[in-house]
Amino acid sequence: MPSSLDLPPGVESQQIETSRLRTHVLTAGSPAAPPLILVHGNVSSARFFAETMVALAGDYRCVAPDLRGFGRSERAPVDARRGVRDFSDDIHALLTESGLLPGTGPVHLLGWSLGGGVALQYVADHPGAAASITLESAMSPFGFGGTRDLDGTPCWPDYAGSGGGTASPEMVRRIEAGDRGTDDQTSPRQVLTHLYGNPVAVPPDVEDALVEGMLEMAIGPGNYPGDTAPSENWPGAAPGDHGVNNAISPKYCDLSGFAAISDRPEVLWIRGDADQIVSDTSLVDLGHLGALGAIPGWPGPDVFPAQPMVGQMRAVLDRYQAAGGRYTERVLPGCGHSPHLERPGEFAAAITGFLATAS
């Protein structure tokens, strides 16, 4: 059986105890180099960044933690009522308590998908802690699912259509069962290669390691996908109070206040124009799936439209820029949700160029 820790040369693995939890961390590069913290997305792990870390380690001290309940970190539950603060507080404890970094100065943050939301929360809660922010295919500042416009207005008062009930039950079952096959589109391997990218095509040993990273995540009401609450509104389920998908429900997750922070690190927003996950026509957004006829009973675009995820991020970053911040949007044609896996050379060059000017 392959291991998610089949790491490329130069990447090291360690377990670190903090006051919050035991965190599994990958590191690469000189400890004296400027620190770059890489935060992974949902249904993944720090292992997804290992090859990227090798490419960036000549100039930066790369640190990639497994978030709680993911990879080989402690399977601590997620309190969704705090939004993504459990994750961002864990990272703050890791960076300030562990001695992992030699200094106490600002760090560069790179967040992919869910990790982009964690990075925005971290910067909002810790002014001056970030030298720059890279948002790679980042989730909307208004969470995932159930909002209708650029202001993040909920489709329903109880936020039905977001949260723990939005995950594919079959995909959850296959993760819990340790499915490594390719016989169904909901298998972890098929999700990796066909939904995460356009497509994701990596060497077979790397693909195996990434699948293992997906399978290591904690499954259950306290972690992925989380619990649900019944709703009279379509599609019949509202967010619960626990677990990852509820933490990114707009009921609890609103990161739009980032636009008004007083400390304004420079931002790179890098994404693919063929992203099927974070998109204004996302294939995992119930509003869009309802419009496609994939979910019965859809109440129509006037009641539950597709979430304009890209438009929402741009609207918040435009407000950030109007308040004195700076951001650059870089769109990779034909690229999906995972630029660092799909276009590794182009992605590494973009990050290195951005960080050189943001330092």
The CATH number for 268's domain is: 3.40.50.1820
Q: Where are the beta strands (DSSP E) in 94-205?
A: 107-112, 130-136
Tokens at residue 223, please?
């972690």
Residue 7 within a domain:
no
342-356 in b/e burial notation, b at 16+ Cβ within 10 A?
Answer: bbbeebbebbeebbe
Instruction: Please report the pLDDT score of residue 3 as a whole number.
Output: 57
CA nearest to 132, candidates 354, 344, 318: 354
Q: Are 111 and 87 in contact (CB under 8 A)?
A: no
Residue 132 within a domain:
yes
- Within the chain, which residues score under 70 in pLDDT? 1-5, 359
Residue 134 within a domain:
yes
Number of structural domains the chain divides into: 1
Q: Are 163 and 78 in contact (CB under 8 A)?
A: no
Residue 5 within a domain:
no
Chain position carrying tokens 């392959």: 2
d(CA 113, CA 41): 5
pTM: 0.97
Residue 1 within a domain:
no
Residue 137 within a domain:
yes
Residue 60 within a domain:
yes
- What DSSP string runs through 215-258? HTS-EETTSEE--EEE-SSTTSEEE-SBSHHHHTSTTT---GGG
d(CA 289, CA 94): 39
Instruction: Please report the pLDDT score of residue 103 as a whole number.
Output: 72
CA distance from start to end of the chain: 42
- What DSSP string runs through 280-292? TT-TT-HHHHHHT
> Residue 315 sits in which domain range?
12-358
CA nearest to 115, candidates 73, 170, 75, 68: 68
Angstrom CA distances, 257 to 151, 210, 222, 262, stand at: 12, 34, 27, 11
137-164 in b/e burial notation, b at 16+ Cβ within 10 A?
Answer: bbbbbbbbbbbbebebebbbebbbbbbb
